[in-house]
């Protein structure tokens, strides 16, 4: 630490009383030394300047607590170090907070979008099933929604197992064709409007 001529006893008393001229002298005397220390810690000159300014404000507000002029630099050093550490902690916490909530937001938006797409797809499938002939509708729903086997459906409705299989195959083909047409249309829309 470079040797700094401390204030005389009389100057220090004026400093404690809030003399602006003496405080300005103290500011000009210690500013470069304190900012150099703070800048080494935070690596941003604008942040370092803010911290040093706040350190001098704290010095002015608590000047009466100092016992002598030799305590000015240690006081500035400790206050500026605490403020720099506090700033660093806030910055780290803020970055973690932003990262966390950005991740949560992305997940939430992604999950919501997925739920909407799943619901839309189910609505389209239900509409396609509603357009099937009545017997195919009944058989398709029993198999796909109620998870009944061909044999169970055949026994319930009174048809042969092969007839049930044929109805499900036919209904599945019709629904697949409708979904393919829809997906093809959506793909064309995406290409036309988002390219």
* Predicted confidence (pLDDT) at residue 194 exceeds the cutoff of 70: no
| Pairwise CA distance, residues 42 & 35, whole Å | 10
- Distance (Å, whole) CA 169 – CA 64: 92
Q: What is the pTM of this model?
A: 0.47
For residue 86, the number of C-alpha atoms closer than 13 Å in the C-beta half-sphere is 10
Taking a C-beta distance cutoff of 8 angstroms, is the pair 14, 22 a contact? Answer: yes
Q: How many CA atoms lie within 13 A of 137 on its CB side?
A: 10
Hey, what CATH topology would domain 9-95 get? Rna Polymerase Sigma Factor; Chain: A (1.10.1740)
- Where do the domains of the chain lie? 9-95, 131-194
The position carrying tokens 């005389």 is 8
CATH 1.10.3470 fits 131-194, yes or no: no
Model confidence band, residue 1 (pLDDT cutoffs 50, 70, 90): very low
pLDDT class for 132, splitting at 50, 70, 90? confident
Q: How confident is the model at residue 42 (pLDDT cuts 50, 70, 90)?
A: confident
């Amino acid at each position: 630490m470079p040797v700094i001529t401390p204030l005389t006893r009389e100057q220090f008393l004026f400093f404690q009383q809030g003399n602006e001229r003496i405080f300005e002298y103290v500011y000009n005397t210690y500013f470069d030394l304190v900012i150099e220390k703070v800048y080494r810690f935070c690596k941003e000159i604008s942040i370092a300047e803010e911290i040093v300014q706040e350190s001098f404000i704290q010095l002015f507000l608590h000047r009466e607590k100092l016992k002598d002029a030799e305590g000015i630099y240690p006081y500035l050093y400790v206050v500026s170090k605490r403020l720099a550490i506090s700033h660093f902690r806030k910055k780290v916490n803020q970055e973690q907070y932003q990262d966390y909530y950005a991740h949560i937001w992305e997940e939430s938006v992604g999950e919501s979008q997925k739920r909407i797409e799943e619901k839309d797809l189910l609505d389209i499938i239900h509409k396609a099933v509603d357009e099937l002939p009545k017997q195919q509708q009944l058989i398709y729903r029993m198999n796909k929604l109620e998870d009944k086997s061909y044999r169970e459906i055949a026994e319930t409705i009174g048809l042969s197992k092969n007839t049930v299989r044929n109805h499900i195959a036919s209904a599945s083909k019709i629904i697949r064709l409708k979904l393919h047409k829809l997906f093809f249309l959506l793909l064309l829309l995406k290409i036309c409007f988002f390219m």
